[in-house]
Every structure is written in structure tokens, then in C-alpha cells.
Structure 1
Amino acid sequence: MDPLTALGLASNIIQLIQFTSDLVSKGREIYNSADGSLVENLELETIAQSLQNLSIDILPSHSSRTDKQLVDLCKKCNEISQELVKAITAVKANGPDKKWDSFRQALSSVWNQKAIDALSARMERYRSQLDTTLLVSLREKLESEDRTRLIFPQGLTRINAEAKKPWHAELIETLKQNDWQAKSQQDRIAFSSRLSDYSKDDREQLCKAHILEQLVFGDMGDRYKRIEEAHQRTFNWIFQEGRDGDFVKWLSNDEDLYWITGKPGSGKSTLHNLMRWSGSKPLVTAGFFFWNSGTVMQMSKMGLLQALLHDLFIIRRVSELLLFIDGLDEFDGDCTKLASFVLEHSARPNVKICAASRPWLVFEVAFKQRPSLKLEDLTASDIMLFVGERLRGHSMFNHLESIQPQEAKNLIAEVTGKASGVFLWVRLVISSLLEGLRDGDNMKDLQKRLYSLPGDLEELFSKILNQLSSSYFEQASKLFQLVRAAGETLSLLSLSFAVDGLDEAIDAEVEPLSSLEKNTGQKG
């Protein structure tokens, strides 16, 4: 067994010993926990599972004669864990509805005091033996290295390169520098202390990874990924001081809540996303985007809490926290309670919340005294910039503008004015105008096309649907019904297979998807 394997194995043994010792400790009592709960069968089940997982980690896959003592310790610790698992099973069977003040009290219902004390003594003895055995084992291997230079020709170079965890190489380096010897009690204590610290860090990282795994839910970041990036040079005004709804000023003052409101499609989510990642003040940020077209978790309070906790748990220390919560109006629940929840938690020390929603009365009443901005009142210049750059990206428009510059300028201004601050409307209208340019429209034709399009977003959607050719009605109906019935967001490829029918989907050749198939849903 090489030094790195021995260290990893020792760390797992220490975690098991420490976990078991904490369980049976007289001081590990639960008198007044946060929710007043005691040790119940659910906790016992979790403890049993933890013991089984830890015991699996200490089973060595191979060993040599020099590592026999270390392997024997593994087996003895594994035996203890199995004894405890059996005891937990007996406790659960004897008192399925009973509660205890501590695990030790629960254990005393099936073991006598002498047996519990004996187990504690065994764990202490095994830990002491482990320190001595591991130190002797490492000394033997490092001395062998010095003699032959065959195990690690470049000193600690190979250890550093192969170490699964940085502390493995650090501990071996420290051992060599301090020349720790197993015969010296002082050296054994120093070695044991350092090994305990590293093992504790290992355990904390494992627990953290497990918690993060439990917090994650399917499609947690799906809404975020679907938000379009802000067009170049748009929304930059949000970071300028002295503007209406001064966001920069809010970041540094004592106000705890900032409310962004706007019409559907006005760019609230796009702005929110830009603000989260481009803020100038060094705050720790976390965010969540409610989405009523997504899964149940994406529109629920539980989804909000899990996503925020996931973001924050990755960060070890939080001094000042800035939370971004978008789409309050897409919450599948009581919006009055959601608004109260936002206000309650924004009032916590060192917490700021930037929330976004449509201008619903429930949010206007709740947030009326807070700093805010109405997005459609501030985006006219952004929309004009976007419209001009998209149209001028077409060579035909550039040709028309060179002949009729004033008419081109008026067209851009008319699109901007008719948009009333709704970016989504602008995107749809620009697509129509570009289609006209492709078909050879002149400036008057483009103006007629613009005038024929409704200024209201919902009316525009209706017009687009009403212009659908009757030959596509059946396919459109299928797609709408599939999306409506789906319990989750469907990919383009899934929709494509669904439209083609079950037989063709089943008979399709199984092979890796091409980039075209992944991006467009078209099958080769």
C-alpha cells in the first residue's frame, strides 16, 4: 500500500471513529434543538446509513505484509460499525414510536452501560493504534525511498502529482521536515493532531457535497439559461449614478429592497441577469427566477429556497448578501404571502433583495415605499439602439437609408415609440421587417408592414397565429397540446420525435446526436 492510499484509508477510519465516538458520547444530548425534536427513528435510520457508508469506505482493496496492522484496524472498526447498525435495528424494533434525548440514551435501551463504555474505550484504543501504525508505515516507506530512490525518484514530486487530495502530500512533507518518529510521544501527538484536522476537513467536504446534492433539483438553472443576453450597450444606464431609480445608490445605502417592474416582455429578466453578474459593489449574490412555464419546483417557494441555499452553501463566508428574485408574478401560490416573505427576509441584517415582477396591484401595494424603477419608462434609448443596429445589419436597409435617410430615421423612431418599452414586441416586429427586406420591400412597404402590426404584445401573438397557413393547423395543434400536457420543458428534438410519431421514434437509429440535431432538433 503506497503512502497516499494509506493516508486516504486512515482518514476514512478516523471519520468512522470520530462519528461513532460522538454518537455514544455522554455530552451529545439534544435538549433544545431548533425545532424541539428529539432522536427519533428517522434520525436512527440516517445514523445507520452513515455508519454503513463509512464502513464501506474503510474496506481496503489490497494490502501487503507491512500494512497488516492497518488492515486489521480497518476490520475491527468495520466490526464496530456493524454492531452499532444491529443495535440501531433493535432500538427501532423495540420502540418504533419512542423518542430519546440522545443517541446514547436510545442505545442504552438495548445495551447496558458497561457495553457502551467498552465500545467507547475500544474506539479510543483503535484511534491510538491507528496513529502509531500509520506513522510507522509512512516512516518505513519514506526511509525505503531514501535508500533506493526507486519509489519516488523525484523526492515528493510523484506524491504531489498523484495525490488525490492536497493534504496527502502536505502531511508527508511535514512528516519529513519534522522527522516525526513513532517512538516519540510528542511526535505521535503532533502527527495525530494534524491527521485529525485533515480528516475533519474531509468529512466536512463530504457533508457539504451531500447537502448540495440534496438541494439540486431538475431544471434548477433552466430558466436562467433561457434568458437572452442584453444587446450590446443596452441597459448600461442601470450602473450610472444619478439616474431614475438609482440602483447604484441603493447598493450602498441602508434600503433593503429594490423593485423592478415592467410590462411582460419589457426585459425584466434580462436586466436582472445583467445586474446580478455586473454589479460594481463586492457583494455575495444568489438568485432565482420563477417560471410558470417550467416545472413545479421552478414556480414554487420550495424551489426558491433550495436554489438560494444551493448558491449560498457554495460560499463559506457571507458578510453582505444580495439576492435577486425574478418573476414574482409567476409564483404558483399566494403572491401576498410571497411579497411578505420578500419583505421579511430583506429586513434581515446585511441582506438586500432585488425583486422583479409585472406591475400587479399586490406588489405595488407591498413595495410602494421602496426604491423602484418602471422598466418601459427607461428603455427607449436601448430599444432605438437595438432597432437601428438590427436593421442596419441588412444590406438592403443600408441601401434604402442612403437614399432616404430621413424616412429610415423615422421608421426606427416609429418602431421605438410603438414598442412602448416592450423588447419582446420589438424582436417580433424586427423579424417581420427583416423578412420584408429579404422580399424586396422599399421604405413605404416597411412602414405599411409596421402599421399593420398591433402595438399590444398579446394582439401581436394573435395576429401571428391567425396568419398561420391552414396546412400547418394540424401540426400546430399537436405541438400546442404536447407542450400543454408535458410535465416539464420539452426539447426541440423531443417535440420533433413526438410529431413524427411513436413508430418512427422507436425505429430511429441509435447514434450520437450531431451539433445540428442538438441545436435545432432536426434529425439527420
Structure 2
Amino acid sequence: MAEAFAIIGLTSSILTFIEFGLTITSAARTIYRTVDGKVPEIQELERDLDEIDGRNKEVLKRNTTSPLSKAERQIVSTVKECDNISGDLRKLVARLAKRPAAKSNAWESSRIAIQVVMSRNELETLRQRLLQQDKKIREGLRSLLQRDRHSELIEALSSIQQAHIVHDINHDMKFENLQRQISEISRSEEDNLAKLVAEVTSLRTKVESLNKEAELCRKQARVIKSLYFTEIHRRWDKIEGAAENTNAWLFHSSEVSFSSWLGSDSRSMYCITGLPGSGKSTLMKYAYDHPNTMLGLEKWAGSSRLCRAAFFFWNQGFEMQKSQAGLLQSLLYQIMRQIPSLVSLIEESKQLHEIWQFSELKSLFTQIMSETALTTKFCFFIDGLDEYDGDE
């Protein structure tokens, strides 16, 4: 996967270099023809060549060590010639920049005029060498996108797309646009170098951006997986669903109705009490799942993001089903699934293969609840507080 992305980056850098090199040779020829001795412009060309060297070094760094296809070898082979061209351009401009001390502007103009005759052939040779590399890189690019790595690049993009789908991140249009852009470039007969550079650079930027997002998704998946425990849904699954007419009263108007509380600005708790075995857990599951609950909470959340989670204590279950550690870990698991970006709050030093300690869970939960930059409203449904077992 990495090789498919790297070769696109390599191609983009080489095309940028060629475009830049042709621009410099054209600018240098213009300076010669004006014969006005604008030394500052020559100095600017030297700075431009420094930038070329920097870009070329970046190209060389991107050279892949895995076996290369024919198209890739053609692309990589242009790097050395571009480096040679860069060196020759530098020498030519350095020769122009030499200025004898205490000489008049007229002398400088005459000197540059002489250089026109001496360097015109060199400039044209450099220009032709750049155009040869342009042709070579275009052929390699078309072959690359039509055959060798085209399927691998699409496969790599599909892999990234799957990482996004797992976390319900909607980037379908991005992938469709990328695949269309790859096809368009592979069929392109574009003679305008600047436009081709822009197209390939745009492709590289988008691919690299999606690759970074995919890596972030993989990290988020590792964190979310570390918060999961086997019994996390067991109590919920054991609670039978209630008939609609049995608990419909919950949403009827009363002195302090549940519906009114859901949509109000109140930060207070809504407590449901009853005798053991009276169906409190069934009622809680009914309330959590009911569409009217979501309508009320969405009204309460307004323009803020809404995040809800539930936990059902069970004293007949395993330790994580009746402890505060189980409560916090379950809530964090549900929160992270809805807001994966919160993974950034977890320190890099956290060993995800190790069991989460209660102090870590409490610290992370407190940090999320106090995150001022987070425009989110949380609603938690906690059932069976009388079945909680612990000293925390």
C-alpha cells in the first residue's frame, strides 16, 4: 500500500521539478535578452535553484526499495538526470552572478550581453533535457495508472475506505472523486505541464490525506477495542423487551413527565425507583430505545452533538458488571465509538494490551466531561444502582 502512494508522490515531485526548471531557463533567457544587468534577478534565480535542490532531495528520499515495475523504474530513472540538470543550471547561474568589483552598470550589461552568446546554446540544451524528462515521466505516469500499479492504488484506497466504513465516517464521495481523478489522468493527453503538475499534486495530496485519516482510524480502532470487555452487552441482552402498552405511560404527561425532562435545560437526574422485580430494568431499556427519547434529547442538545450511553449493573454477573470500573469502561467504550476523535486525549504511553486501571478510567472520563472545546451533550442511562458492588 505504501509503495503505491509513494510512487505517486515521487511522480508529483519530479513533475514539479521539471516545471520549475523550465520556468527558470525561460526566465534566464529573458534576462539575457534584456541585457540590462539585473543582478538581483540572477540572485533570485540562485534562490530558486536552492529550492530545486531541496525538492530533488525530497524526491530521492521517496525512492522505494521494493521491487519496481517497468513504469516505476522509468519514473525513478529520471531522478538522477534531474539532479544533473539541477547542478548544470546552478553552474550556469553562478557564472552569471559573478560581478567584478567597482565596475559600472554599463560594464555589467556588456558582460551579460557577452554571456548571451556563450550561454544560449547551454540554455537550449538544458531546456531540451528537461523536455525529454517531461516526456519520459508522462509516459511512465500513464503506464503506471493504466496498468502496473493502478489496481494496487485502487486496492489501497479501498482498504482506507474500509477503515472509514468501520467507524461510520462518510468519505464515499472522496473515494469516488479520487478514482475518477486517477482514470482521468491516465487517459489525459494534456500538453500543458502546469495543469498536469496541478492534477498529480492534487491527487498526491488527497491520497496522503486519506492515508493519514486511515491511520488515525486504525489507532482509534485499537483504543476502542482495548475498552471492550466480554460482558459489556450481556446484561442488556438478558433483559426482555417490554410490550408497547406496558410502559407507554412513561411518555404521558404528568406532574414531572419524563418527556418534559428530556427536552428541558435541566442538568438534574431523573430517578426511577421501585421494588425488586418490578420491571425497572425493562423500563430503562424501553426508555433508552424509544424514538420519543431521541426526539426529546435532540431538542435538549440543540445545535450540540448528542452522545448517549447506557450501563446496567448486575450483582449476579461478573466483576465488570457490578463495579464502577465496569461502569466507566463501558461508558467510555460507547462514547469513543460515537466520538472517535476523543482518542487523542489518551496518552501515547498507554499500553493498550494491558487492562485499564480504575484510576485511568476515572481520569479519562473526568477529562472528557470537562473538555471545554467539546460541543457535546451527554445523557447516560444507568440501571440497577442497588446492584452496584464496590468500595469506590
The TM-score by the shorter chain falls in which range? 0.3 to 0.5
Report which structure shows greater RCO (CA 8 Å, sep ≥6).
2
More helix by percentage? 2
TM-score, normalised to structure 1, is: 0.34
